[in-house]
Structure 1
């Protein structure tokens, strides 16, 4: 059975108490990060729209981060040692945060999808994403491009900045329903739609990314860093972990989640070199599947 890495615990015990602001942090692995930071003795404040009360021992500011006037009023003269931004999706949000928030270090939860334009046959290193062209006038952004532009905005600022490029997250109280899609269809004997030649990607358990983000928040490095469990996984292998005889249907478009038509594996050597020890996907995938079945 998978158990979270304890590498970050050593880091936590060595740092003094810090004032940490978490934007978001109300559900899924974001809430797990808030609880870990609190339990490590940090002075934690969450800033969100208040859909869920903050965990005990954590302060909460209820505000819409997209409203710059409201955000300034809610924060007042507060400053923080670290900001962990769980919910920045666009350069507009990044610009507002950069203007309003006062912190000694800024950590943004980014995504593997910032590599969606990369075409390679080897694991993707952080350097493959170059600064994006920032367009603050677009009415909407796709997920990968919005995150790329947000990273670019923060990186151009004066505050030391980290972007954590998170692999596909499975396990725990996953609200996306992507893994559930496979479990329900395959358990019912239905086929899943895939590309003709599905390629592998990188995954991580919700507990492990909560560990990683806690560690990254309390560390002192800067720049982009990939986060994912060891062991690349294709949709074929994912399905095989759920069913002994999975059935597939090849489609040209609208394939199932996690069916990729390009090689999309993260190189996590920077994170491991900095001192974080990742698990291997096979350590926890079976557990994540069984959690869904029991639910």
Structure 2
């Protein structure tokens, strides 16, 4: 019988995080969940309380413990990555950072982008930027993740993988409200703001990304890896599935004059190449196969 792993999950114990924690516990892992104390740890998990931005508090909360795997769900900035490195180097065999497709926000490609399109070893790190300003961080979400990855790439004493997550759908408990945005507008016939051309993107179901993170925790590869289901969706296809489920007329689109458009109404091709993960052994689903389920889950949550 395999020895239970010691796993630390930092933040993210809702939506994706709670599903990941459930998988770890079901596998027999000893799971510690660290957050600021705003929500309890799931049953069966150990609770640790600290603000991950406070290096001293984080160090004290972990004490002298070591971990087989750390999954950091809430590393958004290079400052946070540097703290994670200083606290965790030498006390975990594997550090997994949840990153994002937004690291590719400046890549204008007609084909899905591979991990090499953004090499964290070439990204400039600037910890003096106002990363503690919520408005600044929201506007520079992709840049914060890029620089956080860059910090890790320069830290050979912390073996790590950064999971670049596609746009997540499904589950009925998506706190971002992006798919619910469309269900409400299509249900009421409210126009949906779009750019002159809305380009396709890759997506992943919330259960699949939880499976993926659980899988990555048990592997030994390092560096960035894209996580996206097979296939791409246009905004029209996404809204078409919502309309079909509602049994209403098709969605009403309205070309936006300014820069503000609806979620998933992309001005550029926003697709990731998932072939590295496939070569490493992960089996993705097809986006069009699980899309009806994701829409049904959202409609059930908003009914």
Alpha carbons of 1:16 and 1:266: their partners in 2 closer, same or farther (altered >3 Å)? Answer: farther
Superposed, which structure 2 residues align to 1:113-128 within 5 Å? 113-128=102-117
Q: Residue 134 of structure 1: which of 112, 125, 135 is its match? A: 125
Q: Contact 1:25–1:33 (CA<8 Å) still a contact in 2?
A: no
Does residue 231 (structure 1) correspond to residue 231 (structure 2)? The answer is yes
5+ residue gaps, structure 1, are 1-12
After the TM superposition, which parts of structure 1 deviate over 6 Å for at least 4 consecutive aligned residues? none
Corresponding residue of 1:276: 282
Aligned-residue Cα RMSD (Å) equals: 1.3
CA distance, structure 1, for counterparts of residue 282 and residue 15 of structure 2: 21
Q: Contact 1:61–1:74 (CA<8 Å) still a contact in 2?
A: yes
Corresponding residue of 2:60: 73
Deviation for aligned residue 1:16? 4.2
Q: Contact 1:26–1:51 (CA<8 Å) still a contact in 2?
A: no
Q: Residue 248 of structure 1: which of 253, 270, 276 is its match? A: 253
SS in 2 for 1:241: helix
TM-score (norm 2): 0.90
5+ residue gaps, structure 2, are 132-136, 244-248
Does residue 212 (structure 1) correspond to residue 212 (structure 2)? The answer is yes
CA distance, structure 2, for counterparts of residue 211 and residue 51 of structure 1: 25
SS in 1 for 2:242: coil
TM-score (norm 1): 0.93
CA distance, structure 1, for counterparts of residue 3 and residue 192 of structure 2: 50
Q: Contact 1:166–1:209 (CA<8 Å) still a contact in 2?
A: yes
Corresponding residue of 1:8: none
Does residue 85 (structure 1) correspond to residue 72 (structure 2)? The answer is yes
